Amino acid sequence: MLQRLTLNLCLLAVLSAASQLMPSALADEPAASTCLLCHSNKQAGFNPAHGFAADNCVSCHAGNNTASTEESAHAGLLAFPGELANAARGCGNCHHDRVAAVTNNLMHDGRGIVRVTRQLLDNNSGANESINFQSLGHSVADSMLRKQCASCHIGQTKTEHRHNVMWDRGGGCLACHVGEYPENAHPALTANVSDARCFGCHARSGRISLSFSGLAEVDPLPGSGDDRGMRLPDGRHVEKMPGDVHYLAGMSCIDCHTSVGLMGDAGDALHQRQAIDISCTDCHDNQRPTINLTEWPRDLVSVVARLPFATTSETAFLTTANKGTPLWHVELREDGAWLHTKNTGRALKIPTVTRTVYEHDERHERLACASCHSQWAPQCFGCHMEYDADGEQWDHVERAITPGRWSSKRWHVNNALPALGVNDEDHIELFVPGMVMTVDHPDLEEEKFVRIFAPLSPHTTGKSRSCESCHRSSEALGLGQGQLTKKAGQIVFKPANHLLRDGLPADAWTNIGNTLGGGTPASGQRPLNKAEMDAVLNALIPVEGEDDPVPR
């Protein structure tokens, strides 16, 4: 390569000398970047917004585009200018505000999961400035986060030009905005982010990417090889479940999730769900005043060039309730609202909320949309984490194999309708197991048991669930599977699963009266209390007879 570069530089020198004999108009032309002598094929592939960089590599990659040797040309080079460690000097040249916001985003520092894991395992979340993936130490919690969890944050570095839907994570701005790495062209930097860019991280933990597309992770059947017939490339077994209606309609993640919700400064938010900008009613029941182009937020003016339908200065746009973000791809027509999908350009009619008699019942006013319209949610009711000090494992902070290895064993996966609970805004929504887990580590005096549930929007939207699935279900009450009966007007529950060390069944969140369990990752969240359980079970026609079973 060095020989080729030397030859090309010689040719450039000849052309430069010849230019001295040309008319002054030509002599004043800027010299071509020496980068292109070796990387001419990388001039192709840019989208129009970044076309200016096709012959100006240093604007993003730094380095020296007038150098005469490879070594000097690559001095200070940023191979991946979108990495957050480089983004201020790369993407930040044009997108300073976005880079600053993303650096304080929960997808980067993970402060929610760090705080909760430390509180549960170390009994102390640490100083505020240390609650992030970048400041992990070597406590029990931090060790687990280093070896098990910290790969899923966009601050992770990229080490090679490739994309793998299952394994790709990190890369800062590149994590979302590079769709592929072609052999003979520059990667296109695009705002049309595919669902594949979300999958690497969001197919785990809450498993939203799996659920959205109608896949559910399951445990392999005992003694079987692959009885369910489907496995992900990383070996996990999955089964087919009903997909989200938005997915089935051809929508992508970014058709709902706004740039502000994804890339905005999360401020003091402790969990990603608190930073989300969009809600169901923003599209399906938006009653707020609209805005027009003359009222457009200054920090979002760049999207005006991407409006997918004809507009005038008076064209009306819906905005999100949370942060007032214009829904620039939703067109308000005489026959209602139409969503223009960002990746395919299709126009989809948005159904409006249909009022029913139940919605006029004040007892249903507290329900989140997903409480009724989620078809199922992924749930795991058993996990054992064990630390082997003599082993070795990849450390996602050190980016190297270091001493100590965590191993996990999981059981009791259930993809069904989960428990109802109360969030910190006093709304009722779905809660799933965040951790029902035992932890074994030499620094712990004894094996630690943890049981907490966390709110989740499963992204399995469909037709509303049946009345009985709430009002006659012990699982909806957070009690787990079993039989409900009434004796002398009191709820009695006989669990189907064995009790764990905290006195609750293996698949439960709480008990009647909420005297056991009930743990959540944030204050203000809780299971249904006894009065709310009574109200749920009494909502349908009461069961006559003192000992009659309550149908599930």
Dihedral over alpha carbons 218, 221, 225, 230 (to 10 degrees): -30
Dihedral over alpha carbons 192, 259, 263, 294 (to 10 degrees): 130
Burial (CB < 10 A; 0-12, 13-18, 19+), residue 374, is: buried
* Per-residue confidence band for 490, with pLDDT thresholds at 50, 70 and 90: confident
Write down the pLDDT at residue 360: 55
**Range in 19-33, 182-196, 514-528 with the lowest mean pLDDT:** 19-33
Structural domain spans, the chain:
2-77, 255-278+286-349, 414-550
Averaged pLDDT, 150-177 = 86
pLDDT > 90 fraction of the chain, expressed in percent and rounded: 65
Averaged pLDDT, 257-262 = 92
**Cα(218)–Cα(235) distance, rounded to whole angstroms?**
11
Given a cut of 60, whether residue 548 has pLDDT beyond it is no
Neighbours of 515 (CB within 10 A): 10
**Cα(442)–Cα(154) distance, rounded to whole angstroms?**
31
For the four alpha carbons of 224, 229, 234 and 240, in that order, the dihedral sign comes to: negative
For the ranges 104-108, 203-207, 320-324, 402-406, the one whose mean pLDDT is highest: 402-406
Write down the pLDDT at residue 488: 81
Write down the pLDDT at residue 228: 55
DSSP secondary structure string for all residues of 133-198: GGG--SSHHHHHIIIIITTSSTTSPP-SS---TTT----TTHHHHB----SSSPPPB-S---THHH
Identify the three-state secondary structure at position 21: coil
Identify the three-state secondary structure at position 433: strand
* Per-residue confidence band for 552, with pLDDT thresholds at 50, 70 and 90: very low
* Per-residue confidence band for 16, with pLDDT thresholds at 50, 70 and 90: very low
Burial (CB < 10 A; 0-12, 13-18, 19+), residue 282, is: buried
Closest by CA to 494, choosing from 511, 519, 471, 509, is 511
Write down the pLDDT at residue 12: 32
Averaged pLDDT, 144-161 = 89
| Token representation of residue 420 | 């109802």
User: Using an 8 Å Cβ cutoff, are 113 and 149 in contact?
Assistant: yes
* Per-residue confidence band for 5, with pLDDT thresholds at 50, 70 and 90: very low
**Range in 12-21, 362-371, 522-531 with the lowest mean pLDDT:** 12-21
Given a cut of 70, whether residue 205 has pLDDT beyond it is yes
* Per-residue confidence band for 307, with pLDDT thresholds at 50, 70 and 90: very high
Write down the pLDDT at residue 359: 54
**Range in 11-20, 33-42, 227-236 with the lowest mean pLDDT:** 11-20
Given a cut of 80, whether residue 266 has pLDDT beyond it is no
User: Using an 8 Å Cβ cutoff, are 210 and 224 in contact?
Assistant: no
Given a cut of 80, whether residue 540 has pLDDT beyond it is no
Write down the pLDDT at residue 224: 53
Given a cut of 70, whether residue 153 has pLDDT beyond it is yes
Neighbours of 303 (CB within 10 A): 16
Write down the pLDDT at residue 104: 87
**Cα(47)–Cα(50) distance, rounded to whole angstroms?**
6
Write down the pLDDT at residue 229: 66
Closest by CA to 180, choosing from 166, 200, 199, 194, is 194
Averaged pLDDT, 106-120 = 92
What predicted TM-score, i.e. pTM, was given to this entire model?
Answer: 0.87
Averaged pLDDT, 372-383 = 95
123's CB contacts (< 8 A; 6+ apart) are none
Write down the pLDDT at residue 31: 52
Closest by CA to 339, choosing from 242, 459, 258, is 258
Given a cut of 90, whether residue 130 has pLDDT beyond it is yes
